[in-house]
């Protein structure tokens, strides 16, 4: 599980939050406000939640002061994430003191883990719903309206929300997420996700392709296929009858794996870019790599979390591969897709019993791979995980922070070096909108997921342009348009 949103080489010690910045006003009396924390899956889930609540008579507001119902879609991957959400709940309860009818709900992974504490002990929320209970939200709100606390954190082996059309929140109208599966079967010893999101189950491929087709028709030009471990996607028609799906034109005739799904989505239209996240090294097959090579519109970028460069630590983490296996996967990526394929990673500093020599193994692996960027953490023990039950968190905070700083410094140097290689090269870039720093510039990404900034000219969001790179920073490429589609 990866708690990541936007930083290329920053330590993931903060809890990333996305707050609704749009209004959906249809004349309904009740208003919903949503904040999302953590991984991309949570942001995609908030789009499902909004769709469900909209059908039940709620408009969407960008101001929590105007809300009748506030939902926090939460992350439990790190303690700091939970503390951030607790502070936010305290702020919302101050508002509730002045507005007694306000309903405060916690959704997602933190809801699954702390339901009793939040509802009964601390009494800071009215409603708790786990990731598989979002269809029940209207009934839960109705129960709170009746003066009762409401909770549903039951996990499902079937729920995929495949029949729900998400409301695209904070959308740039160009890029969108498509959830292709839910849950995780990997029992990494540091991770709470299998306990908060349940077992893996994959969506019917036809519903995924249909969603991609609809997005393209609406003007979107890039989709990211999401899952905790997309490479383990596998759908069989023999399980279709157990899924809560609406399959409009019949079920797929045979089993579909991730490489086959990638090809199906790529065939929607050559102008629709396809990305995916996240991959697990043990499941990343050559079939996926050859499928990526076969389609120009499948972006040449892979996020392949390593977590540690030391085999003993990887075994303690229950990652089910060793250092050599991981490096062979990197070799396969470079061999099949070439050096231009972007590769990023996750790394954890200071896992239980990690020695200084083992920390150096992580640094040496970084030297061997030369990641384009990475998301970096120091280890944060999560209650209920195998690591919390079995291992002692015996690396001091000071040492964790120092090791993390060394990892960040090395990645910063590698990111800059990788970007410098791009100077003088030309890339196809999909324009996503204005640069965050200046409206006189536009920004987009190339196939390798590198951010490219260039003068706005007369170019439009959603347009493909060819950009020649003239300069760079460790985080972005800077260039000028030399051709436009």
Phi, psi of 483 (to 5 degrees): -160, 150
pTM of the model: 0.89
Ordered structural domains, the chain, with CATH:
17-152 (3.40.50.12160), 175-419 (3.80.30.20), 426-484 (2.40.50.140)
Q: What is the pLDDT along the chain (485 residues), one digit of tens a residue?
A: 333 323 333 333 334 567 666 777 777 789 999 999 888 888 999 999 999 999 999 999 999 999 999 999 988 777 777 788 889 999 999 999 999 899 999 998 888 778 888 887 678 899 999 999 999 999 999 999 999 999 999 999 899 999 999 999 888 999 999 999 999 999 999 998 888 888 999 999 999 999 999 999 999 999 999 999 999 999 988 765 444 444 444 445 689 999 999 999 999 999 999 999 999 999 999 999 999 999 999 999 999 999 999 999 999 999 999 999 999 999 999 999 999 999 999 999 999 999 999 999 999 999 999 999 999 999 999 888 999 999 999 999 999 999 999 999 999 999 999 999 999 999 999 999 999 889 899 999 999 999 999 999 999 999 999 999 999 999 999 999 999 98
Phi, psi of 221 (to 5 degrees): -125, 5
Q: In sequence order, what DSSP letters do the residues of 233-270 get, joined into one string?
A: -EE-GGGGGGS----TT---SS-EEHHHHHHHHHTT-T
- Sign, CA dihedral 18-19-24-27, equals positive
Q: In sequence order, what DSSP letters do the residues of 393-444 get, joined into one string?
A: --S-HHHHHHHHHHHHHHHHHHHHHHHHTTTT-EEEEEEEEE-SS-TTEEEE
In contact, 2 and 150? CB cutoff 8 Å? no
Region of 227 (left: φ > 0; alpha: ψ -120 to 50; beta: rest) is: beta
Could you tell me which of 121, 78, 70, 60 has the C-alpha nearest to residue 96?
Answer: 70
Residue 66 DSSP class: G
């Amino acid at each position: 599980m990866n708690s990541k949103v936007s930083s290329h080489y920053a330590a993931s010690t903060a809890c990333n939050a996305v707050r609704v910045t749009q209004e959906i006003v249809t004349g309904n009396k009740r208003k919903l406000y949503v904040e999302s924390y953590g991984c991309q899956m949570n942001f995609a889930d908030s789009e499902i939640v909004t769709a469900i609540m909209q059908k039940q008579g709620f408009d969407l507001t960008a101001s929590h002061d105007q809300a009748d119902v506030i939902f926090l879609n939460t992350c439990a991957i790190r303690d700091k994430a939970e503390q951030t959400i607790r502070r936010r709940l305290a702020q919302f309860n101050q508002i509730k003191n002045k507005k007694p009818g306000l309903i405060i709900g916690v959704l997602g992974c933190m809801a699954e883990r702390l339901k009793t504490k939040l509802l009964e002990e601390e009494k800071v929320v009215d409603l708790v719903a786990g990731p598989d209970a979002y269809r029940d939200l209207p009934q839960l709100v109705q129960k709170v309206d009746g003066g009762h606390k409401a909770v549903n954190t039951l996990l499902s082996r079937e729920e995929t929300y495949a029949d729900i059309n998400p409301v695209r929140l904070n959308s740039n109208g160009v890029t969108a997420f498509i959830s292709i599966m839910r849950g995780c079967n990997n029992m990494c010893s540091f991770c709470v996700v299998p306990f908060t999101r349940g077992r893996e189950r994959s969506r019917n491929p036809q519903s995924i392709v249909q969603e991609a087709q609809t997005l393209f028709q609406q003007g979107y030009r890039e989709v990211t296929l999401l899952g905790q471990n997309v490479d383990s996607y596998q759908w069989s028609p023999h399980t279709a009858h157990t899924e809560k799906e609406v399959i409009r034109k019949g079920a797929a005739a045979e089993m579909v794996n991730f490489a086959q799904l990638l090809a199906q989505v790529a065939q929607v239209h050559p102008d629709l870019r396809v990305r995916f996240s996240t991959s697990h090294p043990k499941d990343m097959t050559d079939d996926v790599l050859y499928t990526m090579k076969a389609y120009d519109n499948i972006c040449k970028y892979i996020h392949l979390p390593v977590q540690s460069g030391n085999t003993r630590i990887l075994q303690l983490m229950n990652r089910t591969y060793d250092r050599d296996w991981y490096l062979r996967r990197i070799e396969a990526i470079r061999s099949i897709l070439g050096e231009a394929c972007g590769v990023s990673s996750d790394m954890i500093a200071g896992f239980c019993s990690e020695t200084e020599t083992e920390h150096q193994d992580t640094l040496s692996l970084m030297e061997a791979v030369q990641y384009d960027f990475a998301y970096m953490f120091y280890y944060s023990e999560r209650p209920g995980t195998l690591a919390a039950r079995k291992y002692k968190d015996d690396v001091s905070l000071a040492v964790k922070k120092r090791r993390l700083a060394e990892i960040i410094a090395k990645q910063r140097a590698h990111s800059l070096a990788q970007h410098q290689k791009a100077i003088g090269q030309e890339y196809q870039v999909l324009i996503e909108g204005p640069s965050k720093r200046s409206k006189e510039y536009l920004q987009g990404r190339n196939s390798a997921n590198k951010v490219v900034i260039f003068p706005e000219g007369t170019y439009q969001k959603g347009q493909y342009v060819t950009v020649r790179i003239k300069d760079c920073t460790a985080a972005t490429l800077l260039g000028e348009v030399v051709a436009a589609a």
